[in-house]
């Protein structure tokens, strides 16, 4: 049973390892399970909600678990810590469009997710890879116009350089709704040279919780 909700229960919790490296988003059930199993080393961020359990038969007290927005957990992290530097996130349209802020990288217009496509900058038919650095978010019109040509062949210009998100960036891009404190936390793990660093800094300066989510359907 839940009580004293500071946030909607659907708000995801950012889980980190004990060293504070971001790992994944978890839902409240998983968060409660980790607290209950005493797997939470420490928590930070803000209190999201409190979950109350049953009454104790011994003294009649009631168990209560306070769930924070960021929790650091014991234990190993699926061998991720070893490979973190070389980690390449799986490529999917949802995350790709988020990477590019729902902008068509050719005409620069912002679109709803359903109106966007994955463009292979060097077309697959010309040996281009289906990889982060060779894909761009494109509106249907630009993608159709470009066809099986490279940007040079089509005399089109990209408005941004496509990049491979690092692990923290990937977590950020996967977040359904990222709270300010979670954004701040992830920002510390995003290189200053990354375009996402500037974007997140802007959101934080403007006091915004994630706004890009508005462009999803």
Least Å distance, CB 110 to Zn ion, is 10
Stretch that binds Zn ion, among 84-92, 101-109, 118-126, 170-178 (CB under 5 A): 101-109
| Binding flag, residue 101, Zn ion (CB under 5 A) | no
Q: In whole angstroms, what is the distance from residue 53 CA to residue 72 CA?
A: 22
Residue 117 CA to residue 39 CA, distance in Å, equals: 41
* Window of 13-21, 42-50, 105-113, 184-192 that interacts with Zn ion by CB under 5 A: 105-113
C-alpha to C-alpha distance for 31 and 68, rounded to whole angstroms: 9
Min separation Cβ 113 and Zn ion, Å: 14
Question: Which range in 20-28, 112-120, 132-140, 168-176 contacts Zn ion by CB under 5 A?
Answer: 132-140
Q: How far is the CB of 106 from Zn ion (least distance, A)?
A: 5
Of 142, 171, 190, 196, the one binding Zn ion by CB under 5 A: 142
Does 139 help bind Zn ion (rule: CB under 5 A)?
yes
Tokens 């390449």, located at residue: 88
Per CB under 5 A, which region of 13-21, 138-146, 162-170, 173-181 contacts Zn ion? 138-146
* Rounded least distance, CB 143 to Zn ion, Å: 8
Query: Does 158 contact Zn ion by CB under 5 A?
Result: no
Site string for Zn ion, 188-207 (x = CB under 5 A): --------------------
Q: Which of 18, 91, 107, 154 binds Zn ion (CB under 5 A)?
A: 107
Question: What are the strands of the beta sheet with 2-3, ordered from one edge?
Answer: 2-3, 40-55, 62-73, 13-17, 22-26
The Cα 71–Cα 18 span in angstroms is 9
Rg for the chain, CA atoms, rounded? 21
Distance CA 119, CA 56 (A): 59
Is residue 136 a contact partner of residue 100, using CB atoms and an 8 Å limit? yes
Distances (CA, A) of 33 to 20, 28, 72, 74: 19, 8, 13, 13
The answer to whether the CB of 30 falls within 8 A of the CB of 40 is no
Part of the chain binding Zn ion (CB under 5 A), chosen from 2-10, 33-41, 117-125, 133-141: 133-141
The neighbour count for residue 34, using CB atoms within 10 Å, is: 21
CA 3 to chain centre: 28
Q: Which residue in 48, 104, 121, 173 binds Zn ion (CB under 5 A)?
A: 104
Nearer to Zn ion, 40 or 142 (CB): 142
Q: What residues make contact with Zn ion under the rule CB under 5 A?
A: 104, 106-107, 139, 142
């Amino acid at each position: 049973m839940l009580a004293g909700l500071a946030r909607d229960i659907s708000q995801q919790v950012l889980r980190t390892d004990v060293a504070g490296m971001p790992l994944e988003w978890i839902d409240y059930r998983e968060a409660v399970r980790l607290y209950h199993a005493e797997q939470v080393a420490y928590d930070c961020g803000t209190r999201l909600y409190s979950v109350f359990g049953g009454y104790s038969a011994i003294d009649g007290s009631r168990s209560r678990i306070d769930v924070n927005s960021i929790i650091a957990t014991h234990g190993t992290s699926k061998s991720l810590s070893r490979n973190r530097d070389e980690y390449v996130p799986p490529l999917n349209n949802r995350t790709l469009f988020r990477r590019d802020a729902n902008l068509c990288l050719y005409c620069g217009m912002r679109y709803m997710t359903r109106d966007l496509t994955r463009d292979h900058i060097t077309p697959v038919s010309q040996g281009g890879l289906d990889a982060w650095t060779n894909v761009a978010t494109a509106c249907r019109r630009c993608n159709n116009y470009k066809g099986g040509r490279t940007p040079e062949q089509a005399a089109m210009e990209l408005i941004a350089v496509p990049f491979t998100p690092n692990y923290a960036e990937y977590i950020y891009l996967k977040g359904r709704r990222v709270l300010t404190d979670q954004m701040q936390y992830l920002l510390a793990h995003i290189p200053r040279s990354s375009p996402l660093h500037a974007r997140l800094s802007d959101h934080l300066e403007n006091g915004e919780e994630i706004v890009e989510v508005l462009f999803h359907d």
